[in-house]
Amino acid sequence: MQVIAGTTDTSSRPQPSPSGRAGSLQMAAMEKGEAGAAAEYTQDGSVDLRGNPVLRSKRGGWKACSFIVVYELFERMAYYGIASNLVIYMTDKLHQGTVEASNNVTNWSGVVFLTPLLGAYVADAYLGRYWTFVVGSAIYLMGMLLLTLAVTVPALKPPPCDGSVCPPASTLQLGVYFAGLYIVALGNGGTKPNISTIGADQFDEFDPREKMHKLSFFNWWIFTIFVGILFSSTVLVYLQDNISWSVGYGIPTLGLLISIAIFLAGTKLYRHKVPQGSPLTRMGKVIAAAICKWRLPVPVDAKELHELDPEVYTKKRKFRMDSTNSMRFLNKAAVKDDDGGNGSLPKWTLCTVTQVEETKQVMKLVPIFVTMFVPCTFIAQTNTLFVKQGTTMNRHLGSSFQVPPASLGAFVTLTMLVAVVIYDRIFVKAVRRYTKNPRGITILKRLGIGMLLQIVTMAAASVTENRRLDFARSLGLDKTGKPLPLTIFVLLPQFVLMGLADAFYVVGIIEFFYDQAPESVKSLGTAMSLVAYGVGNILSSVLLSTVTRITRARGNAWVTNNLNACHLDYYYAFLTVLGVINLLAFVAISCKYRYKAESTETIDIVTGEQAEKAMVPSEPVV
């Protein structure tokens, strides 16, 4: 079923300068005496760490990506080794209430996903993706070490509960633990927006074979991430609940150290992109310039607008974009006042057409970006309220083994893994014969399907919780708050459905913002997808706090410490309605969205590529 429709905007396609990047690289190769090697240089401006053009056969491709993907496997194991069971640690060890602990988890998660905006800024404006990532990794590791100390050193841990009396954690204990959490969040800001972009940079957009491989990169990237999550939500969670938190935190810390070493080991194989300045600064300059020149008319002929010579873009290995009539007011930023009226204006008010079009492209993403907040709020429930539901159920599997509540998240991962493989290997190949789209369906359709499945998930969770509460009341357990003699696997459908939704939504949101961001601000595009998660998590905290405060004031709080005596089912129903409203807004906005040309045109951009594409081997990620 097609949920979302989109149209193609071929006029906004970034154009490499006419003189061609390949020609200058060929000349450089000939000057070095490398006969015949010039044709092997990448065409997208990739360089090594010293700024030299790179040979396609020496750097990049799946070989380089293997180091990057293995890093992500271990890093996700480290992150979710903390995040998966965080709400349990806060309630059981730090002795916080359900609402307080859930909000602390989502607030931290929100910061984790907001800091990538800072990391993307630093990467694009100053250090580049590689060095920003390296610095972020060092900070990340410091945070993990501090967390491991916080759960290991006796003086940094609150004393255990004495019956029903649970002494609160001291200021020092809370300070050390939360300092570790937020140092991890800061380090994540340097690594997260850059690592996936570094991976995608290993494939040349101008080479048909590599462009085809790049289309599958995000699917396999997410697949690898969820393998790491699967280990965390099963093995690490079990160790934390049944062995010790020290071991449960120590293993992911060691894993992070190993992953950083693996990434650094592949340095000589990586392709890099030269930092092209802060995109936020450029966009702010364009908007301010257009406002300053609001009285100047926009010429009918776009050639009269200010633009640099093609050779300038060739030399700097940048993309040049043609002027479009969308958001026409911003074109004023590129207007030249030949009558002298511009003499009273600062020089910075004259922007190039390419800068204007980059700004337009990012601004076009904002409405879609806003509709991503609510779906990300749904995802936040998986590691908070879904987990707390599990603590109220019978967790025994056999006579002695107890299922850790957070381990049900493994079913999200397993469903996701299976669905991504089926989607990439079967669904896409079958559908693209009819749609003529190399992705099978457009990215917005994929996002829309994921959002619809999320709504179904929350509706199913509401129904399940309503039946659980009825069962608890029938046994009088709403008074005592003790676990129900009802298997925890009753909650399984909502975890499986969320995993199915993730196969569409999680992959789609990363791919959409990377693909649709202008070429020179890809890190910002990746950061936008992560910021959506950040805002979604903070929105989750705001909604939970607001709903709890309002319903408590009315004498019947929907969420309390005793989940058997509240109305969590009402809260899930509220989220379901919110999701429906958001999906309708997303459909309306998506129908008017116009894609960049590259995202919808087929891979066969050169005559005769069909035969070449048939010869492309199916290469694994690792």
Q: Give the pLDDT score at 338.
A: 62
Q: Give the pLDDT score at 65.
A: 83
Write the DSSP assignment of 20-84 as a string of letters: -HHHHHHHHHHHTT-TTTGGGB-SS--B-TTS-B-BTTTS-HHHHHHHHHHHHHHHHHHHHHHHT
Burial 287-297 (b: 16+ CB within 10 A, else e): bebbebbeebe
Mean pLDDT of the chain: 82
Local structure of 241: helix, strand or coil: helix
Is residue 613 predicted with pLDDT exceeding 70?
no
Q: Give the pLDDT score at 16.
A: 43
Q: Give the pLDDT score at 609.
A: 36
The conformation of residue 603, written as its DSSP 8-state character, comes to: S
Domains and CATH numbers, the chain: 61-275+358-614 (1.20.1250.20), 279-357 (no CATH)
Is residue 370 predicted with pLDDT exceeding 80?
yes
Confidence of residue 44 (pLDDT cuts 50, 70, 90): low
**Which pair of tokens denotes residue 544?**
């939970």
Confidence of residue 604 (pLDDT cuts 50, 70, 90): very low
- For residues 188 and 319, the model is more confident at 188
Lowest-pLDDT choice from 257-261, 305-309, 432-436, 605-609 = 605-609
Q: CB of 443 within 8 A of CB of 451?
A: no
Residue range 93-147, pLDDT digits in tens: 998 888 999 999 999 999 998 998 888 888 877 888 899 999 999 999 999 999 9
Q: Give the pLDDT score at 5.
A: 34
Confidence of residue 493 (pLDDT cuts 50, 70, 90): very high
Q: In whole angstroms, what is the distance from residue 62 CA to residue 44 CA?
A: 17
Q: What is the β-pairing status of strands 396-397 and 7-9?
A: unpaired
* Dihedral pair phi/psi, residue 457, rounded to 5°: -60, -50
Q: In whole angstroms, what is the distance from residue 132 CA to residue 121 CA?
A: 10
Lowest-pLDDT choice from 35-39, 402-406, 493-497, 561-565 = 35-39
In the chain, % of residues over pLDDT 90: 34
In the chain, % of residues over pLDDT 70: 86
Q: Give the pLDDT score at 317.
A: 60
Is residue 29 predicted with pLDDT exceeding 90?
no
Mean pLDDT over 589-612 rounds to 53
Residue range 168-185, pLDDT digits in tens: 889 999 999 999 999 999
Q: Give the pLDDT score at 125.
A: 79
Q: In whole angstroms, what is the distance from residue 564 CA to residue 554 CA?
A: 18
Q: Give the pLDDT score at 316.
A: 65
Q: CB of 404 within 8 A of CB of 238?
A: yes
Q: CB of 449 within 8 A of CB of 465?
A: no
Confidence of residue 319 (pLDDT cuts 50, 70, 90): confident
Local structure of 318: helix, strand or coil: coil
Mean pLDDT over 516-540 rounds to 83
Confidence of residue 219 (pLDDT cuts 50, 70, 90): low
Residue range 408-450, pLDDT digits in tens: 988 988 898 899 889 888 888 888 888 888 788 889 999 999 9
